[in-house]
Structure 1
Amino acid sequence: MDTGSTAWILAASMGVSLMIPGLALFYGGMTAARSTLNMMMMVFGAVAVAGIVWVLYGYSAVFGNSYGGLGLLGNLEEYAGSSQLLAEQSDATLPPALVASFQALFAAITVALIAGAVADRMRFGPWLAFSALWVTLVYLPVAHWVFAFDATDGSVVGGWIANQLKAVDYAGGTAVHINAGIASLAVVLVLGRRRSWARPERPHNLVSTMLGAGVLWFGWFGFNAGSALAAGNAASVVFLTTFAATCAAMLAWLLVEQLRDGHPTSLGAASGAIAGLVAITPSCGAVTPVGAMVIGLAAGAVCPFAVGLKRRFGYDDALDVVGVHLVGGILGTLLIGLLASPAAPNGRAGLFYGGGFALLGAQTVAAAAVLAYSFTVTLLIALALKATLGLRVSAEAEEDGVDHALHAETAYDLSPSLAVGGGSLPHPGVVALPETRTTTTTG
């Protein structure tokens, strides 16, 4: 057992766990004030659902021996309940439970990303049901394709993208970002536009959004560098490329805003950083630091225009999950085929390094497969839930704000009373005290 690497992955996992409140702050600040608690609840609720699914059968579906050796899905019974992960394995350098915990956070963050697309209008119960179904039917199979590698002794067969196609996805460009991005498009097509679509509301708290972006940036180092699964040179290189790409993407996004709109914005800075982090996620172990900056510049330049496509095509992606995560994920995945350097930890050569078109072809097939599968299955899940449970809140609730309608709470109570939302009912647990007057004597 490698105690140094164990300590590093424990720390990386804690960093990734900070992405949960980071995402909640990032998304929460971008919504209207009357919907921010619901947005945060959707993030936390999705994480909770994904965690339960992961422990019961999710780890087994991703890392179990592939059914029939086809590379499509792991054996659901092999690690059912995760009790088999308790014992230390003599041939493992990391505790199995630690690897399972680290990967559980990937599943949780991925489904939580979709929450931003459906902000302000989706009922909370159906959202939790959607999260459970989506993790089960979409994330687990795709994660098996991408993250499950064959055992060196042939005892375990992993996913087809990782082992047969041999595409590169260091930390989840396909399984996380393309997957969540295209799923977001599918579900908003079923859900429909917000009532405020014609008069879009500004983000209510950009301080929260920038703080959330900073917390996400911190956690992303654990997300990417932790995917090395060892404390060593690979994790260190990935840390550097992640940082370089993020800086370049932020500056590129701000430059686009300056040239297009006449002013750089704090929302643009936060969005640019996230776009760079998304794009470098699959490529962080495949490119040089300069290559990482090129990928960051591409994401920061392209994603601002991709965000505007929702107005042109009429789909209501509330918080730009499609424009940032789908487009950024595709860019980062495909640019590996051009910029991959044999000197990087992945050791693969892209077109610009003499590798020909083979790697670019593999990256294209991997991206296309995830796009097609995730969109189709997500669309079916959303249609089924719409027909059974119903997805939308009432028009009145949407107009007045989903925080109070769904959770009987408000994020900001600016009234002088202790009442929730300015009403007459006191907050549970608050006892009204008689007014008292204090006199202070100074000598």
Structure 2
Amino acid sequence: MPPGITTFAADAPTLSAANTGFMLICSALVMVMTPALAFFYGGMVRVKSTLNMLMMSFISLGIVTILWVLYGFSLAFGSDIGSFIGWSSDFAGLSGIGVTELWDGYTIPVYVFAVFQLMFAVLTPALISGALADRVKFTSWALFITLWVTVVYFPVAHWVWGAGGWLYELGVIDFAGGTAVHINAGAAALGVILVIGKRVGFKKDPMRPHSLPLVMLGAGLLWFGWFGFNAGSWLGNDDGVGAVMFVNTQVATAAAMLAWLGYEKLRHGSFTTLGAASGAVAGLVAITPAGGAVSPLGAIAVGAIAGVLCAMAVGLKYRFGYDDSLDVVGVHLVGGIVGSLLIGFFATGGVQSDAKGLFYGGGLDQLGKQAVGVFAVLAYSLVVSAILAFVLDRTIGMRVEEDDEVSGIDQVEHAETAYDFSGAGGGLSPRPTPPGPGTTAAPTNKKVDA
């Protein structure tokens, strides 16, 4: 049997209906995060790009699901090959897995673990899309997802979480995806935008969110789904670690939202809804790697630090001239780095592992390991993603034509628009005049009152 499968020996764990049900629910919560992200991003773009933004997330549900079944699960979690990649023929096509076989040392079926990790794989490339709003061909984006998850996400997931992966063996702590998901996606976003360039009108034309209520809805659904994302990553809750992660997720997110709003008020004079939503996401990102290693007080510190630093980071695109449309670099890359490195300071040694951070007497050892993980994933994803974007741009082209970008990518790429204003109220509308004797009712040109 390949590594990762437990048979029913006398001393082997037995299937837990409670943990299995819990993990199926968590898998569904993580799945909801991808359409939630679509709403979050969709509200942040201009009207003419709304559908394209939604579709750039939704298409990942289709593409990555099929690739994960065919070979992705095997590459990420199969038998280790050189500490870089995995492979197990029984995992390819999910064809050699029995329904009663359990994941390595746990009380849940392999199928449940596979579908839970699938939802992570789906979400990660969708995160990248926010940096590319308004200007990428949909066909090129779909092909980029296919290539990117194959040569970047699947190997990095093995490094971080696969038995034998070199970061896993080094002792890098990443509870639920600070490196494999958020730094990976943020670095990829930076690599791609450096290749494809800025939107037409960047730093000149107003590019404000068209629907802040949609943004807040998306952020709220992300927050909701993130409990499955984080607490579920312990693959059960027999020892209470998942419960700690659940609490820390809520605490850090609240702290980050308040910290972002406080910074925003001091810096710009207002508390904005976009700031509240962005701050919440920054906290969710930062606690993702750290929540199983820190206490609730540590989670407050992680969230607050991430809220301020991410709020500061989103303005760097104007200083350095890279067009990160929806702040994927500022929130996901920076938030992932902050959360991963702060483990080296705030790890208590009493939750998911005995590794302690600097503030708990552990010295700099864990911080050094975290730094290796952060910068290895950042460099690999940045370089490989830029190469993929360059190849696609020079072959089939990554960007739509400039005129199409100006007129609206929704109509060009999808032959639809998000909103139909042709029947909207507020204009002049006929109201019939009561007919007099011997007359025919005729419309007037008066406004219809609400």
**TM-score scaled to structure 2, two decimals?**
0.89
Cα deviation for residue 92 of structure 1 reads 5.1
Q: Is the 8 A contact 1:57 1:76 kept in 2?
A: no
Deviation for aligned residue 1:303: 0.6
- In the TM superposition, 1:90-169 aligns within 5 A as 93-149=107-163, 158-163=164-169, 165-169=170-174
| Displacement after TM superposition at 1:131 (Å) | 0.2
* 8 Å Cα contact 1:170-1:227 kept in structure 2: yes
> Partner of 1:66: helix, strand, or coil?
strand
Q: Specify every segment of 5 or more residues in structure 1 that has no aligned partner in the other structure, as ranges.
A: 150-157, 418-443
Tell me whether 1:350 sits opposite 2:360 in the alignment.
no
Q: Residues of 2 paired with 1:15 and 1:262: CA distance?
A: 36
Partner of residue 181 from structure 1, selected from 178, 186, 198? 186
Partner of 1:404: 411
Residue 76 of structure 1 and its aligned partner are, at CA, apart by 5.7
Residue 90 of structure 2 contacts residue 97 of structure 2 at CA under 8 Å; is this kept in 1? no
> Percentage identity across aligned positions?
53
Show the counterpart of 1:23. 37
Superposed, 1:119-268 pairs within 5 Å as 119-149=133-163, 158-163=164-169, 165-197=170-202, 198-232=204-238, 233-268=240-275
1:274 corresponding residue in structure 2: 281
Structure 2 Cα separation of the partners of residues 360 and 371 of structure 1 = 16
Q: Which amino acid aligns with 1:88?
A: T
Inter-partner Cα distance in structure 1 for 2:324 and 2:416: 25
Q: Is the 8 A contact 1:237 1:345 kept in 2?
A: no
The match for 1:425 is: none
Residue 200 of structure 1 and its aligned partner are, at CA, apart by: 3.3
Q: Which runs of 5+ in 2 are unaligned?
A: 1-14, 425-450
Q: What are the Cα deviations for residues 75-110 of structure 1, in whole angstroms up to 9, with x where unaligned? A: 163421111234312675111111000000101100
Q: Is the 8 A contact 1:34 1:401 kept in 2?
A: yes
Bigger CA drift: 232-241 or 70-79?
A: 70-79
Q: Which amino acid aligns with 1:81?
A: G
Match of residue 5, structure 1, among 19, 43, 63: 19
Return the alpha-carbon distance in structure 2 between the equivalents of residues 182 and 78 of structure 1: 32
Partner residue in 2 for 1:394: 401
CA positional deviation for 1:345: 2.4
CA distance in 1, matches of 2:201, 2:280: 27
Work out whether residues 89 and 96 of structure 2, in 8 Å CA contact, stay in contact via their aligned partners in 1: no
- 2:311 and 2:376 mapped to 1: Cα distance? 25
Q: Helix, strand or coil for the counterpart of 1:169?
A: coil
Code of the residue aligned with 1:230 in structure 2: it is G
In structure 1, give the amino acid aligned to 2:301.
V
TM-score normalised by L of structure 1:
0.90
Task: Give the partner amino acid of 2:52.
Answer: N
Residue aligning to 1:421 = none
1:225 aligned partner, one-letter code: A
Q: Summarize deviations over 1:197-245 as a string: whole Å, max 9, x none.
A: 0223110000000010000000000000000101331110000001000
Q: 2:367 is matched with which residue?
A: 360
RMSD: 1.1
- 1:87 aligned partner: 99
